[in-house]
A and B are shown apart, each in its own frame.
Chain A
Amino acid sequence: GAVVSQHPSWVICKSGTSVKIECRSLDFQATTMFWYRQFPKQSLMLMATSNEGSKATYEQGVEKDKFLINHASLTLSTLTVTSAHPEDSSFYICSARDGAVAFFGQGTRLTVV
């Protein structure tokens, strides 16, 4: 099946710094990718839709200036958590569709200390 690769798998950063997470579709092109956030023992909450060559679409309540999304090519979307705070600590996971099926990256566990 299609593969979506996410990097890094985990990251620890200091409060106030920024962290970039990459999401790549390895064997297919994706004009649209999605970013989700998952708190411990919770469901996945859609944060934003990343559109290749245009601005991302954010879900209600998600700060677009804090969670910067760039979809520069058909195989790469990045999520940058700016000025991270401990409450941003979470599991972030991306997905991309290959036809009708959405495949997910391995996820990135972010810990802000």
Chain B
Amino acid sequence: AQKVTQAQTEISVVEKEDVTLDCVYETRDTTYYLFWYKQPPSGELVFLIRRNSFDEQNEISGRYSWNFQKSTSSFNFTITASQVVDSAVYFCALSDENRDDKIIFGKGTRLHILP
């Protein structure tokens, strides 16, 4: 069965600190996709990244970086030099080609960046 686990329910860090959000997934499929979405207080979901299962290269986008490790079934997300505007709930998600493209979400990590 598919499952996404975000063990960190809530994290608080002081502005400018780096923070890593953990994501562990389970799937029996060999072809799958991993996502990260940001949900600010306004409620909309903002797409951050998509990674397919065959691409284990780490990715960096500005202050954001992602570490995909198939060996540990993890897809962790790091924010460097955090800012107050980064405060939001972050969801890790999984989908695969064989399940009608359904996206399964983790429970989310609520991130507080303190000024």
Contacts and interface: CB of A to CB of B under 8 A. Distances in A.
B47 A101 contact: yes
Contacts of B102: 34, 46, 49
Interface in B67-87: none
Nearest to B49: A101
B16 interface: no
Contacts of B50: 100-101
8 contacts: A41-B110, A44-B45, A100-B33, A101-B50, A104-B37, A104-B44, A106-B43, A107-B43
Given A49-B100, A100-B50, A102-B35, A43 B105 contact: yes
Interface residues of A, number: 25
Contacts of B107: 42-43
Question: Closest 9 interchain pairs by CB?
Answer: A104-B45, A43-B107, A107-B43, A106-B44, A44-B105, A43-B105, A43-B108, A101-B50, A102-B103
A102 B95 CA distance: 10
Contacts of A41: 110
Nearest to A57: B100
A91 B43 contact: yes
A104 B103 CA distance: 11
A43 B108 CA distance: 6
A95 interface: yes
Contact of A109 (B43, B101, B108): B43
B19 interface: no
Interface in A19-43: 32, 34, 36, 41-43
A110 to B, nearest CB: 12
B32 to A, nearest CB: 12
Contacts of A106: 42-44
